[in-house]
Structure 1
């Protein structure tokens, strides 16, 4: 079994470590390579990979949309999200999927199943590709209300407008999110704010945080972001970003191999590595 990851740049990627542990779980030998594709020659490099003998690959920034014209089949959910992070190769056919949002929801639900009830209100910070995937996955759950907050409200509204008009959705600014924070049961940061090296940045402050709310940040370097640190100082429940990465990788691995692997021991090993 041979897998790879495309993106630019890729020096920071932990995917080979994670998929190596999944291969160990199923007792199979395989490889997971990093292929850093230069934007100027992306099209030619992808066409060359079409002739390769791999079993599948992942896609990360900035190619989750760019890869789509090269696919033979796109899963309906990935098409609705408008981005692909996993490609299965079978008999020369490239089929695209998106496991980001589903992986995130699995990781959150493992710790906080009580959030997935009709009365819950979710606040999603950011309106990029990660936000789009997570919002679509939340939309498939029972949560009644999803609000997307972004510096540019129009960009958040674009995601809202692409969803089925069956639930309570709205798009607001970061300042509006801060002012109404006590309305939300879960706050999910999907922006890159707080990521190394800009570790002191965060989208909003949590002065009006509702008691019992969960604060989640998909940034995993540093392990404790500025947003998570502020949430912990207020005694809030928190959810760290490395778990989403592992769960989405596990879903991709299952699509490639048919094996349903256990994400929990991989999360523990990954957490230990991040804290070194």
Structure 2
């Protein structure tokens, strides 16, 4: 039986297996979705010794969305643009990389008016969100708040969250739950939010454009389509 998995570290809480196994059962596909918590050494072993040989594909999460790039045999335009990959399809032993975070985020931005956006974080999802903004809303001004400067050139780096003084139409949160996270939620509670993080419960704000769980489901739908050529129906959040 072919397998799918999600790789990341640490992988203490992930809803990806639950989401994909619901769809696998619904469409009666002979496949099982697992989870693989791999430290750096285990990640290299998984890739370099091709322990994925019996897999149909895998999802990639923190901290490997950027590290996986050099091992791909093919990278989609979204991966090339974002510099991050969250979905791999294995065909004839070769790794085909995609970024369904970008696809899900860009689709959600369609028809939304945004003049000024603040992105908090500079990891794999932040890169996907910024590229989605640039492509869907080219005139949007994008400010980037992060602890250190990374190689993101199409946003204005403003440093610490305490430096933020501008009024924004949209906040994109791409950092884990932390003191900074809750500070952002409180500071921008009247602003539309895309929240890339999720835990056992979503933190409610007045204007959630896309919650962490909704984003997870949407990007998973497009990953499932890549693997099986089936775009599954959206899941009720209550199932998670």
Q: TM-score range by the shorter chain?
A: 0.7 to 0.9
Cα distance change on mapping 1:74 and 1:10 into 2, 3 Å: same
Structure whose CA Rg is larger: 1
- Give me the whole-angstrom Cα distance separating, in 2, the residues matched to 1:65 and 1:254: 22
- Map of 2:157 onto structure 1: 171
Q: Deviation per CA, 1:107-142, whole angstroms, max 9, x where unpaired?
A: x34xxx541x4x643222222221111111222213
Cα distance change on mapping 1:93 and 1:176 into 2, 3 Å: same
- Map of 1:259 onto structure 2: 230
C-alpha deviation, 1:249, in angstroms: 0.9
My pick for the range that moved more, 21-30 or 245-254, is 21-30
The two structures have a TM-score, normalised by structure 1, of 0.75
Cα distance change on mapping 1:205 and 1:30 into 2, 3 Å: same
C-alpha deviation, 1:48, in angstroms: 2.9
2:238 pairs with 1:272: yes
- Give me the whole-angstrom Cα distance separating, in 2, the residues matched to 1:84 and 1:216: 19
- Give me the whole-angstrom Cα distance separating, in 1, the residues matched to 2:193 and 2:45: 42
- Structure 1 unaligned regions, length at least 5: 164-168
Equivalent of 1:224, from 192, 202, 208? 202
> What's the secondary structure of 1:202's corresponding residue?
helix
> What's the secondary structure of 1:49's corresponding residue?
coil
Contact 1:126 1:189 in 2 (8 A): yes
- Map of 2:175 onto structure 1: 191
- Give me the whole-angstrom Cα distance separating, in 1, the residues matched to 2:184 and 2:50: 38
Higher share in helix: 1
- Give me the whole-angstrom Cα distance separating, in 2, the residues matched to 1:199 and 1:223: 18
- Give me the whole-angstrom Cα distance separating, in 1, the residues matched to 2:208 and 2:214: 15
- Give me the whole-angstrom Cα distance separating, in 2, the residues matched to 1:13 and 1:47: 25
Structure 1 runs (4+) greater than 6 angstroms displaced: none
My pick for the range that moved more, 43-52 or 121-130, is 43-52
- Give me the whole-angstrom Cα distance separating, in 1, the residues matched to 2:95 and 2:63: 19
C-alpha deviation, 1:25, in angstroms: 3.6
- Give me the whole-angstrom Cα distance separating, in 2, the residues matched to 1:31 and 1:208: 40
C-alpha deviation, 1:69, in angstroms: 2.1
> What's the secondary structure of 1:88's corresponding residue?
strand
Aligned-residue RMSD, C-alpha: 2.7
The two structures have a TM-score, normalised by structure 2, of 0.85
> What's the secondary structure of 2:136's corresponding residue?
coil
